A and B are shown apart, each in its own frame.
Chain A
Amino acid sequence: MLNLYAQFAAVEGSDLGTAIRASSWLFPAIEAIHLLALALLGGSLLLLDLRLLGAGLTLQSTSMVERETRPWLITALSAMVVSGVLIGCSEALKLFDKPAFWVKMAALAVAVTFTLAIKMPLAHRDVSGAKANWLAILSIGLWLTVALAGRWIGFS
């Protein structure tokens, strides 16, 4: 059986994890990047979700809004994952013991899969009506769950 705890211990003890912990400014800097990417992620998600709800850029087609937000969403998501992994490396064992971390990872997996495999392909085909509304509501709900669980890691 895979010993997950040992894996987390190895990550925490790695050169990368040690280097981030040893520096007084690296952790805050990575945290700041994580937050900047969050703003970009929020903007690119929201413009498409608003369009799916019949708000925001309604004079443009849903597929056009999907196409325009896609590169920003991918950029923001990549920056969030990279900075998030770096944050995780520095405190892997602390995270291992926090239910909020596992809730966030599960919600993140669902949110990313839903966004890339369901919401955006359907938006690309100009989905409309109740189906479009539900896509937007699910998207906002899933990403808020990720964000709130993430916030809870810092507090629990």
Chain B
Amino acid sequence: MDPLSQFTIWLAQTPWSIGLHESLYAYTWIETAHVIGITLFVGTIAMVDFRLLGWAWRTVPVSEMTARILPWTVAGFVLMFATGVLLFYAIPIRTWHSVWFRTKLVLLLIAAVNIWFYHRRARRNRALWDNAPRPPLIARACAAISLAVWLAVIVMGRMIAYNWFDCDKPQSGLVFAVAGCSTYPPDEF
């Protein structure tokens, strides 16, 4: 079995994981905080993306928008990420073998590469278009990718709750492969 699947089995047996999983209120509160984090994070990043796309805030310099709004985006991300880790920790094996969760991880990777690309390439000559109502195509493309990816991340996250593609029932070859059902442990976990 691969180390990651082994790790999730070990994780599921730690007392805190079991405690969270079986808790009456803790899991719900963490989930609620996760949604508040998403609202803060995606809500503010969407406004910055709208600026880069020229859909809103057209008279506000891009540098001002990012300097004033992105700190709140980062705060939302910290809350979202910390609570997300706890949600995974509460249900490690099933989440690790979820096609939704795995798609979400790939989308998060794309989002990270997009942010890196924006900072490395798109933002390089920002002084030239900081006040432009409609920034150049490369910046608008980054903003469009950001919006699309984060919306998809929210949808994938919501779908983790549904068990259509869970490994504990018969699945098609594609789902079986994507979810890694061959390393899904038997019932005792």
Residues of A with Cβ closer than 8 Å to B?
Answer: 24, 28, 31-32, 35-36, 38-47, 50, 56-60, 64, 68, 71-72, 144, 147-148, 151, 155
- Pick from B31, B32, B69, B159: contact of A47, CB under 8 Å: B69
Q: Please list 25 pairs of residues, one from A and one from B, whose beta carbons are closer than 8 Å in the complex, sorted by A's number.
A: A24-B164, A28-B158, A32-B154, A32-B158, A32-B159, A35-B35, A35-B155, A38-B35, A39-B43, A39-B46, A43-B42, A43-B43, A43-B47, A46-B44, A47-B44, A50-B72, A57-B60, A57-B64, A57-B69, A59-B64, A59-B68, A72-B50, A72-B56, A147-B35, A147-B36
Contact of B72 among A24, A56, A155 (CB under 8 A): A56
B155 proximity list for chain A (CB < 8 A):
32, 35-36
Interfacial residues of chain B within 35-77, with CB under 8 A of chain A in the complex: 35-36, 38-40, 42-44, 46-47, 50, 56-57, 59-60, 64-65, 68-69, 72
Verify A40–B46 contact, CB threshold 8 A: yes
B9 to chain A, nearest CB (A): 28
Would you give the shortest CB distance from B47 to chain A, in whole angstroms? 5
Tell whether B28 is near chain A: CB-to-CB under 8 Å. Answer: yes
Q: How many of chain B's residues touch chain A, expressed as a range?
A: 20 to 34
CB of B189 within 8 Å of the partner chain: no
Inter-subunit contact B46/A57 (CB<8 Å): no
Assess whether B151 is interfacial by the CB under 8 Å rule.
yes
Residues A35 and B154 in contact, CB atoms below 8 Å apart: yes
Residue of B nearest to A51 (CB): B68
Which one, A31, A40, A57, A144, contacts B158 given CB within 8 A? A31
Contacts of A40 in B (CB 8 A): 43, 46
Chain B residues whose CB sits within 8 angstroms of the CB of A155 once the complex forms: 28
The chain B residues found within 8 Å of chain A, CB to CB, are: 28, 31-32, 35-36, 38-40, 42-44, 46-47, 50, 56-57, 59-60, 64-65, 68-69, 72, 151, 154-155, 158-159, 162, 164
Binding site secondary structure of chain A: helix
Which residues of B are found within 8 Å of A32, using beta-carbon distances? 154-155, 158-159
B interface SS class: helix
- Inter-chain contacts of B46 with A (CB < 8 A): 39-40, 43
The complex places the Cα of A101 from the Cα of B40 at a distance, in Å, of 24
Please indicate the chain A residues that have their CB under 8 angstroms from the CB of B159 in the complex: 28, 32
A47 proximity list for chain B (CB < 8 A)? 44, 47, 69
CA distance A144 to B40 in the complex (A): 12
**Chain B residues with CB below 8 A from A72, complex form:** 47, 50, 56
Collect the chain B residues with CB atoms within 8 Å of residue A24's CB.
Answer: 164
A148 to chain B, nearest CB (A): 7
Please indicate the chain A residues that have their CB under 8 angstroms from the CB of B64 in the complex.
57, 59
Nearest CB in chain A: distance from B93 CB, A: 22
In the bound complex, CA of A60 to CA of B60 (Å): 8
Instruction: Report Cα–Cα, A49/B171, bound state, in Å.
Output: 48
By a CB distance below 8 angstroms, the chain A residues around B60 are: 57, 60
Q: What B residues does A42 contact at CB under 8 A?
A: 39-40, 42-43
Q: Are A28 and B154 in contact (CB under 8 A)?
A: no
